Chain A
Amino acid sequence: MRKLNYVWRLLMTGVAFSLFSIGGLMITLLACPVIRLLPGDANRRRERTQWLIHKLFGVFVGFMCTVGIMRLHLKNADALAEARGALVLANHPTLIDVVVMISLMPRSDCVVKGALWNSPFLGGVVRAAGYISNAKSSEELVESCVDALQQGGALVIFPEGTRTQPGAPMRFLRGAAHIALGCEQPILPVVLSCDPPTLSKGRPWYDIPPRRFEYRLEVKSPLSVSDLIEPDLPGTLAVRRLTVALENHFALELAACGQSAH
């Protein structure tokens, strides 16, 4: 029975991965042209594409839960749905973090890899959604992120820059702090965990866990820069102190959430 369940989950994980790429291609080929034909300016188009991605990610997460690959535990997720003009920061344990988060956010901006931006499957979608490509200089990237926030977007950033190396402590890059210091918008911390670990960095999709994984998402209270660092620091120091403060904040939140889970 256990064996059967394993094979079933392996099969369904494969299906989920295929669905993701096929789904991306379908939106690029079918939905994007339709969205372009609908009345409204570029902004409306972008909102519609973001909404469509939100809905489809919802279907995708629903699929994974229904077939028994994962179980989702949400806490205070409404805060994510209502986030506007907020810098949404999250730790990054798995490949599906952004999928779960956006499935809860009707409007979201995020930074995507240059490789994804040009991908034949998903490139059309991420461009139409107005997501931000990381294939530009750091200065331009920070500027684009600050712009998106000031236009009321909810910008999802993983301060680690990539998925957490399993077993290693979280290391935050300074990008998130640069963005937070570039605007006055609140920071919304989201703490993610996955047990048993799966879809983590350097792990192929077919290396599935021995049982269905429990995925937890908790939205914490919003923070402002002034909660985390002393005022009036010169820019180069402020960005460093803020990075360390955020890293410590997340480490504490993660430790707390690990304890409550057991």
Chain B
Amino acid sequence: MKMENIMALSNEAIFDELKKILVESFETPEEQITLEANLYEDLDLDSIDAVDLAVKLQTLTGKRIKADEFKAVRTVADVVRAVRSLLDS
């Protein structure tokens, strides 16, 4: 995906991209991925996965993610919000 397209991403589109990453890289069952789902408790990610996920989101957005901010992320909605604020910053 090209950079200018990404900047225009709607929250729905961010959610879809995130879903794709979770299914492809973390083998998360697609039907479990909802905005409310907790990455660690519901989607079986661990803290090492979280680092990998942050790296993938960096590649997607082309912006650096601060490790401290990403540590506070718990749910899928939190990730969408984090990506949103990265794009808007």
Query: Chain A interface (Cβ within 8 Å of chain B)?
Result: 137-139, 142, 174, 178, 234-237, 239-240
Contacts and interface: CB of A to CB of B under 8 A. Distances in A.
Interface residues of B, number: 9
Interface of B: 25-27, 46-49, 51-52
16 contacts: A137-B47, A138-B46, A138-B48, A139-B47, A139-B48, A139-B51, A142-B48, A174-B46, A174-B48, A235-B52, A236-B26, A236-B49, A237-B25, A237-B27, A239-B48, A240-B27
Contacts, number: 22
Contacts of B25: 234, 236-237
Interface centre among A137, A139, A236, A239 (most CB of B within 10 A): A236
A136 B28 CA distance: 26
A236 B55 CA distance: 12
A239 B49 CA distance: 10
Nearest to A142: B48
Nearest to B25: A236
Contacts of A237: 25, 27
Q: Is the interface of A mostly helix, strand, loop or mixed?
A: helix
A142 B46 CA distance: 13
A227 B30 CA distance: 30
Nearest to B27: A240
B25 to A, nearest CB: 5
Contacts of A142: 48
Given A139-B51, A178-B48, A234-B25, 15 more contacts: A137-B47, A138-B46, A138-B47, A138-B48, A139-B47, A139-B48, A142-B48, A174-B48, A235-B52, A236-B25, A236-B26, A236-B49, A237-B27, A239-B48, A240-B26
B50 to A, nearest CB: 9
Contacts of A235: 52
A174 B46 CA distance: 9
Nearest to B48: A138
